[in-house]
Each structure stands twice: as structure tokens, then as C-alpha cells.
Structure 1
């Protein structure tokens, strides 16, 4: 068979159920038309013309149909007249009965009968025209009209079922309706083209090893069971958003030589009662039929929340029933050890304890934010498709982005490419990446924002105050640059390179708070006025001071107490874990800490007022200044932090709010 013949064969129309529906509708319409009064072609006339024909003696019979319509039959002599030549009836199909010559509708039947009787009496017609009465019914038309409401109801019902079942299931609307309790998991197997592999997952070494071991369990189960071990039943991927939990699952789907079922936690949720539990049963049934297999449930917190905590919200028990069925399938009577469940969430604290126990999710794999070495690997992955400059330093980029997740780094690379293209460059260079970090962290640069000279001067002294105080303090983060270019909601920002600490001491927190209050302190020292520009600074220091007093126990007056509940038991906050007297003490301590650091910042700026003014003038002139400009004014920074790995970040520690 040639290629053209194959194409012609493929182009043949496929059978469709809608053809049957259309054929039935056409047949009903044909019956309606053919069975109705419009089947034969009869000449229309008027009651006045009929009376004329009646007076001339041309009428043989009048047939009154349904008390509103008259069919007129002429005599043989009348049909021969010239005036009635066009009145001979024509029919689409042959009929044994004579068709009427004329047809017309009249008003009141009694008046019509009286008019006929009057004409017959006046003209003394002989033979008298026959007057007959007949009732006609269109059975098919009446049937269709009676059937129409039911057709509309069934159509609306099918449409709603389609929408609620999300178009899932085959076999038309009925198939979708009856498959509404079926699992929506997407199956990946050796016949599915999944290109993601563990080579595409940069960083996450510990998590990747754990997941690779799970794949190895299913590929070589005898290696572990020969020693008496059991294959884990489940693994839970936990971590902040954007760290690569779903990417790890995609890599498992690409690497595993076993069926891989993938779906989201929300796919179990439906408005029908019992559908969630039914879909869980169907999912595990399919997985057991294809065992060994892996089930991946993304965002499992959609159905795995702790039971009984939301009774006051008015929610029904459908989600809890789904969770109960999931718990039973994972570890209950009749479970199969050849099915491993992978799940991902960034809210492990809200999951039910029964779901988290060993025997269901035996392993919790924490997918953390990448460190400087892992960020370099992630940059290398996302820089592959970019046309980058030859002198681009990936180590520098990884140091500039601590605290960034893998998704953030991918966004940085994409933004840098867009910025380079916008500027007409042939390659993406270092400055494009710095601009991309500024864009993502600080927001879009607003070049057309209207700002008065007085406001601009206030912003310049505010940011210079931050820079001056942080330069003078030992534990404050070293400065990268200061800008008064508006970005997003901020009118200016100071960018720092803070060290990543595992533990923080009180003097380090106090220095950071003092540096954050340096902006407002500079306004007070220079203008003897304060403004609303320190909103984000005040928000930050208030949170830090409250954490020092109520969480970390760093206040001598309150003591070594913490009111932080890591279990989240006091979810609604109806009661405070301390008395009103302690609450007053806490408020006083928070206020004391902040005011002491504010006064400390004012004293530092008073001592260096001339250098503060000089720095602000340079900032007004250049709009963006860097570490070198501060060294020219203040000299070398007296405090140098020496760490094995110094991680750097461009992060707006202080913003001028509009």
C-alpha cells in the first residue's frame, strides 16, 4: 500500500455517536413535516372569495377541520372553468383520497356556518354543498412537543455532568458520568516519553540519593529482601516552594522502569459525596495491577490535613473520608508492599499524624534551599540554553543569590536573558544578571515616577544613614550598594551581603536592628523631622524585637521563656499563653529594645554627621553608589568577617516606602 493510499485511508471519516443523534432528529423532523397539514400543496383563498364561489354553485363540499380551517372541494364542472384552472391540487406522494382545491382559515365557526346557510338559501342551490366536520391530529408533532422539555433537562444534566467530571473518562457523556469515581492519575511507563532524569536535577544531593534508592528498591528488590529488609511504603518530600520536589518526582518517572502514576491532591476532591474515597480505591487498584509501581501525589496537603481541626469552619467530611481511605490503602488489611507512594508538600506541619507515621510514609525527605555549591550547579543547568558571555563568573552569581530556590534561579536566568535582549546585546553578561536580581528582589525600576527634590534629598539621607550605621557596626552586614532609584513600591534601597548564620547572638540581632533604624535616625539628625518612609524598617525591627523577647528568650526581664508553639496547636489564637501582666512586660521590653537601638543610631550619626552628608551628596549625584564610594569617605571597614564560606546576597534590608 502506498503512502498516499494510507493517508487517504486515515482521512476516512470516523464513526461518531453524534451521527446517530442527528439522524434521529432528522427522522423526527421529516415525520413532523410529512405527517402534518403542510404535506400537500393546496391553493390558499379567502372567506370572501369562498362565498363568491359558493354563490356561483362551484362548491361541492366544505370540510371544516378543527373548527378553524376550511378545505374546499369544487365540482367537476367548476374545475373546468378558467378561473379554477390553477386550483387543481398537487401532491408530493400519490394518495387514494382527493385533495382539496382551496384552503383558508376563518374566525368564529357559528358566524361562518350562518353565512353558508344564508347563501345556500338565497341562491337556492341544488344540489346543496355538503358541510362536513373533521378533527386532525399531528401525533408526531404532539409527541415531539411533549418530549422537548425532557430532552432539554437531559441535555442540561449531561452538560453539568461533563463539567463536574472535568471531561474525564471515555465513552461520551455517559462514560464521563459513570467514570466520575475513577482515578485521574496520569500513567507514565516505559512507553511514555519522559525526558527528565536525575542528571537534570542539580544540587539536592541528599534528597536525590534517597529518591534514587527508592527507584533501586523497585528495580532490584531481591538485593534488599534477601537480607530480611522490607521495601519502604512511602516517602514524603518536604520543603519550601520552588526547591525541586516535583522535579525530583519527574526524574523518578523518567528513571524508573516501573509504572509511575502522577496526580495532584486536588484531583481527589469532588462535589459528590464519596468520590474522593472511590478515586483513592481505584488508584491503588490500578497500581496493584501493574505492581511494582510508584504513585506520586503532589500537594498532598489538599487531602491530608489533620482531621478534626476545622470543625468550626463548617466543612463537610468528604476530605476526611478521602484521607481515611488513603490511610487504609497505604497501611491496612490487604495492602500490597510492591506499591510505593511518593508525596510532596510545603506544609508538612498541617498533615495528619496518622499519615506521617512509619508504615505509611517511612521516610521524610527534606528538600532544603540550595547552598552556594548547589546554587552553582543549578546555575549551570539553567545557563545551558542561554548565549552567555565568555567571562561570566558562575561562582559570583551563586554567591549573589543565597536564599534563592531553584525556581528563583531559573527566573533570574530568564530575566537576565530578557534584559539582554531588550538592550540589544548578543550575549548575556554579568550586569544583566545583577539587573535581573534587582528586578526580582526589588521590583521593576520606575524611571517615570514623579518625586520632588525635597523628597529625593530625604530618601538620599535615609539610605546614607543605613549605609553609615551598618559600616560602623561590627555585626551588621557589609554593604554592596545603595540606590535611590525607585523600584516597585520602594523609593530607595540599601543592598547588603549578610553572612548566613546557623545561630544568632543577641549583639548580632541588636546591630542589625540599629542598622535598620539608621534611616529614620538620619532624617532626625539632618532635618530634625521623621517621615513615613521607614515603614518597612519599623516592621522588620518590631518583628525582630518581638522574636527576641517572646520566641528566643533573649530578654533578661522576661527570662528564659518562649511562647512559640511549633506544633501549631493554638491555631485560632483564642487564648494567650501568658497573663496580662506579662503581656505588658513584653510590650515594654520590645519598646525598650527598639528605642535603645534608635538612640544608638542617632549617636553614631551625630559623631559622623559630616561623612553622612558627604555620602548623601554623592548619592544624590550618582543615584547608585557602591562599596568603593564608602571606602573613599570612611576608609577601610574596621570589622572583617572571616568565615570558611562567605555567602553573599543582594537583598534590600531597608526600603523607603511610598
Structure 2
């Protein structure tokens, strides 16, 4: 039976103390109104008071000579009359604290003359016992009372703000707001230790191989120290988002079985000055006490950005103070301890050089996007909990997802299950995965969106233009399917399966640009005008051409130069690394390159106008066409890339029978 850890909250007396304190403050502030005899006090003038004395209404009066204030008390007989009945005080039990309060008050300018006039009117009065008392001013007591009220007020603020609100922090309630400089790292050890191991990490073989040695060092340090080796100070995981950097760090913690401190770079950032550096000191202090241990800082670029950047005002930067303290703790005097720091970032170009040097991060481990075989392994992990149909092949799914990260593949598998459930299926089939890939890349289909026939025809020719150029150029990516069904913000889309290559030639880039311009070229050739539908195409080719000219050195006029800053020092780009004349040449060459591919696309489409029309009409009719439809119209593709070669060889091997096995050709590695 599972143990119930729920504990009902006990009675909290804090609110009782708060209410008592507030009531005490209210009593002290308004004691004149709710005091011993309770009731109102009224200000009167001198003439009215003397007339009351002459009529015998006044019992006594107290004169404060220092302030000139007179407190007047009426007789019981006067208070019982209709005229003064509302001034009658009720005894509510508070007189022991505040004493009786006056019925009337007023201020006099000359105390001596007032005293003579007072007793002169007493002689005329039927009440000969009325008297005027001279009393000492209560200024000191009032000052003491105000000070007492202030102390109570600020005491309540301290209790609630500094103690109660401060106790909600990550460091517990004992320190309150004064614990803001304590580390916010979450500690995993003992029963709470992470159970993830390297077996749960698929695809990252190269990264795992580099980081496994750190785990081995923590498990068996004598193996290395007896040869004079030292434990690495840190490892930095660098790679695109979603590639598994955090998962790899969790696997290290699960394998090493040592205390694991996990936090984000933003956890060091606070509104108070000096908090970041204080948290770094406290973090390493706790880690050293539990050494050997591991500190994992995710998104370390939040505090590790190069010093001196974006500091336009010349003022001190709190983030730089935090980084300085981190540098000192990782490699400085007195840092000989078995504490390993693992950092993760996708912005290594902006990190401070002092942070990246050996002695701090001894190893910089690249966690890249998975290749074909790695994607197979990742798919196998995420397909385990799914009920799969017989037509689902892991290798096929891996081929359909080039450029996908581990997080993307996880999303594909989950989305496929949702698609199958939406269709009330018992298992997840191959088509569900294809629909999931389309959903992630292009967005959700909007079949209900109303499109005019003229617009639909333009979209069909636009997408047919892309498909035609891609089929008839050598280095363009092979087509998978084309659709004119609106998805997301696009009115049509074409899916291609790009080659997984490490380097790209000029001819390959130009063919890709020509295919991208094929949509606008088809509009011009067939309809005689162009539209705004090629916005994303123009953005893509402009960036591509600019990179070819100014970064990759693939233009004859500009030459073999590159203005790319891989160090990130010129991040804000306030000055260009080339002259105005060179900038003009770059602009002219970028424009000329794009226009040349646009004219080339128009020539190809004009030469194959009849096939373009057939393809567009079929697209209008079916809304979605596949590679088989292009083969039917254009015939077999003349240019076969490596992926097509492998597929063709596999088909030939199947056709030849099980005895014949054909190995794919292997190219030269550069």
C-alpha cells in the first residue's frame, strides 16, 4: 500500500499576533476617541466656555501652560440634560489605560488673563466648586507613545516581509530575505538521485565517449592518479537546442552516483548587487563539502558572456562580477577539490575566453544534430511506448527526418500518436508519422480556408515551378510531395529530402537558389506577372547569396575573403569590416547572382512549358502530388544523388533475389 505523505497544516498563531498588534496600534492612535469614557470631544471658543462656567455646567478644567490647551469636563447634571446628552461618555473599561477624556477643548493665548476670567465667572455661577487645574504638558508622553507605535508597526513589517515572505525562497525559512545570497541549486543524492544512465541516451555516441572518462574518473580515480593524471575541472556541452545536452548531463549524474547540483545560469541573476557572486561562493562551498560532486549549470551563457560587451555606460556590471567569481572558483588559489563543473549552451561563440580555457572547461564537447544512424537509435527509444502498425519502419522514419534533433523526433512520435488517436485508430501507422512530420514542418492543414480559383491556380503554378526546377537540376534535393492545401501561414508547400552533406559546392548552392526562384519564375512565365507569394523564397535566396559572397568566398569579384566573425566579437555590428566600395560590390554581386538564377529558372520552365502545365493541372485537381506523379510526367530523373543511388541499389537487390547483396558506394571523405 502506498504511503500517504500528506500532512495537514497545523494552527498558525501568526495571524493572532498580527491582529493583536493592529488592534493595539488602532487603540493608541485613536485613544482620544475610544478612550476611558468613550465619546466625542468638541472644540469651543473662549466666550462659550465662560458662559458654561457662569451657568454652572463646568465641573473642572485642566490648563496646560506650555501648550495653552484647556481640557474642559462638564458636571454630571449638565451631561444629563438634552443639550449635552450626546457628550456623555460610556465606561467601556479602557479608562485604566487612557484615563477620562475631556468634553470640550480649546486653546488660549494668555493663560493668566484666562485664569482671572474663569474664577470671576465661577463667582457668578451656582456651582462654586468649579476649579481650574494647572497641569504639566504631555508632550514627552506623546512622543514616547508615538515612538512605541512606530516600533510596533515596523516590527510587524519585519515579521511578515523579512521572515514570512523571505522564507518562501529556495533556501528555506530560517534565513528569510537575508538568505538571498545562498545558492539556489537543487541537490540530487541518495534516494533522490537521478536514475538516468547512458543507456537512456541514444545517438550521442561521440559525446558519450568523451564524457564517459569523467564518470570513470569519479568512480575509479586511482586508475588515473597513479599515472600522474588529474581530474578534469569541467566539460562544456555545446550544440543546437534539443540535441540532448541536458539529458547527457543527467546521464552523467546517474552513472557517477555522486552528489549532483543542478541549476540554470539565470539562477545567479538577482536584482540585488553582489547576490550572483555570493551564490557562486555558496554553491562551490556546498559542492566541496560533498566532494566528489558534480555541478551542472544549464544555459551558462546567461552569466558567461564575454566581459566588456554591451556595457555602453561604463558602469559596473553585476553579471561580470558573477562571472569573475565563477572563474576564481573553477581555477584559482585553493581550488584543489574533486568538484567537476558541467556547462551547457547553444551560444558558445559569446562565452568569455577565460571561461573556455583548459583548467576551467578542459573539454568542449560538441553535441550536434543526429545523423541517419543516430536518428534510428533515437526513434527506437521514443517508439517503445507506442502501439505501432506493421507498416512502420524505423529506417524509413529516420530518412524522412533529416536535420531533426532528438527533441524534434520525440515530438514527431508524440504527434503521430495524437494523429492516430484523432482518427480513432488502434495502432499508429506509417501515414500517421508522415502527417506528424508535415504538421511539425508546415503547420496544421486549413482545408476550410476559402481561396479564389484564380489564386488557387497561381499557387498551383508557383509550387509546380519549384517541383519542375528541382526535378530538372542536378544538385537540387529530391522531391517528396507538393501540396496547395494551406498550412500554417503558407498557402502551399513542397517537401524535399535534402542530402546530409558536410560541405556544399558552388554548383549545389546555385541549383538550390534556382529551384527556390522557380515559383516566382513560373508565375512570370505562365501568368505574365508576379505576386507577393514568393516572400519566403526571396528571403532565403537573399541570405544564401549574401553568405556565398561575403562569408564563403564563392564570388569572383569579391574574391577569396570572408567577413564572418566566428568569435562573436562584432556581435552588435556597429561597424562593417569592409569599405563602402566593397559593400557596394557585395550588393551588386548578390543581386546579379539572384537575377541570374531567376533567368535560368525561366529558361528551364519555358523549355518544359507543356509538362509544367500538366503538373499544375494535376495539382489543382488532386491538391497533393507525390514523387510518382513527377516520374509519370517527366520520366525518371536524370540526376541521381547519393540517396537515390542507395535506394535504387536496394530496389535492384530486392529484384535480383535474396542471394545478391549490393553495398552502397562510399565517397572520399575530406
Query: Offset of 1:11 from its aligned partner?
Result: 5.7
**1:424-450 deviations in whole A, cap 9, x for unaligned?**
444433333222222221123333434
Contact 1:32 1:140 (8 Å CA) reproduced: no
Bigger mean CA deviation after superposition, 474-483 or 161-170:
161-170
CA contact (8 A) 2:18 2:156 kept: no
- How far apart, in 1, do the equivalents of 2:163 and 2:458 lie? 62
How far residue 344 of structure 1 moved from its aligned partner, in angstroms, is 0.7
Matches within 5 A, 1:415-454: 415-454=415-454
Task: Give the Cα separation in 2 of the matches to 1:301 and 1:163.
Answer: 30
Q: Is residue 351 of structure 1 aligned with residue 348 of structure 2?
A: no
**Offset, 1:272:** 3.0
Match of 1:285 in 2: 285
Give the Cα separation in 2 of the matches to 1:358 and 1:71. Answer: 89
1:197 to partner: Cα distance: 2.8
| Structure 2 counterpart of 1:492 | 492
Equivalent of residue 167 in structure 1, options 149, 166, 169: 169
1:259 aligned to 2:259? Answer: yes
Contact conserved, 2:277 with 2:322, CA < 8 A, in 1? yes
Asked if the contact 2:311/2:317 (under 8 Å) is kept, the reply is no
Partner of 2:668: none
User: 1:343, CA displacement in angstroms?
Assistant: 0.7
TM-score (ref. length: structure 1): 0.83
Where does residue 308 of structure 1 map in the other structure? 308
Residues 591 and 322 of structure 1, relative CA distance in 2, 3 Å threshold: same
Counterpart contact for 1:484–1:493, Cα < 8 Å = yes
Contact 2:259 2:294 in 1 (8 A): yes
Alpha-carbon contact 1:28-1:140 (below 8 Å) kept: no
Deviation of 1:539 after TM superposition, in Å, equals: 1.9
- The Cα of 1:294 is off from its aligned counterpart by 0.8
Q: Which residue of 2 aligns with 1:38?
A: 35
State the alpha-carbon separation in 2 of the partners of residues 280 and 24 from structure 1: 40
Counterpart in the other structure of 1:237: 237
Using the TM superposition, give the Cα deviation of residue 381 of structure 1 relative to its aligned residue in structure 2, in angstroms. Answer: 2.5
CA shift, 1:204, in A, is 0.8
Q: 1:412 — aligned with what? A: 412
Q: Taking structure 2 as the reference length, what is the TM-score of the superposition?
A: 0.81
- In structure 1, C-alpha distance between the alignment counterparts of 2:339 and 2:52, rounded to whole Å: 93
| Corresponding residue pairs, total | 631
Q: Within 2, Cα distance between the matches of 1:565 and 1:332?
A: 31
Mapped to 2, the partners of 1:19 and 1:120 lie a distance apart of 52
| Contact 1:162 1:177 (C-alpha < 8 Å) held by counterparts | no
Aligned twin of 2:321: 321
CA distance in 1, matches of 2:385, 2:163: 44
Q: Relative to 1, partners in 2 of residues 1:382 and 1:68: Cα closer, same or farther, differing over 3 Å?
A: farther
TM-superposed CA distance for 1:541, in Å, is: 1.9
Instruction: Choose between structure 1 and 2 for higher RCO, CA contacts under 8 A separated by at least 6 residues.
Output: 1
CA-atom RMSD in angstroms: 4.3
1:559-598 maps to which residues of 2 (within 5 A)?
Answer: 559-598=559-598
Partner of 1:652: none
- Which 5+ residue runs of structure 1 have no aligned equivalent? 648-658
In 2, the alpha carbon distance for the partners of 1:431 and 1:140 equals 88
Q: Deviations over 1:339-360 (max 9, x none)?
A: 1111111111111111111111
Shift of 1:19: 5.8
Give the secondary structure class of the aligned counterpart of 1:615: helix
Residue 603 (structure 1) shift: 1.5
Q: How has the CA–CA distance of structure 1 residues 369 and 35 changed in structure 2, closer, same or farther, with 3 Å as cutoff?
A: same
Correspondence 1:529-608 to 2 at 5 A: 529-608=529-608
Distance 1:114 1:481, change over 3 A: farther
Summarize the Cα distance change of 1:88–1:251 in structure 2 as closer, same or farther, 3 Å threshold.
Answer: closer
1:71 aligns with 73
Show CA shifts across 1:394-427 (max 9, x none).
3222221111111112222233333333344444
State the partner residue of 2:464: 464
| CA drift at 1:15 | 6.8
1:128: how far off?
A: 4.8
Q: Which residue of 2 aligns with 1:61?
A: 59
Q: 2:58 touches 2:72 (CA, 8 Å); kept in 1?
A: no
CA distance in 2, matches of 1:590, 1:126: 112
* 1:13 counterpart residue number: 10
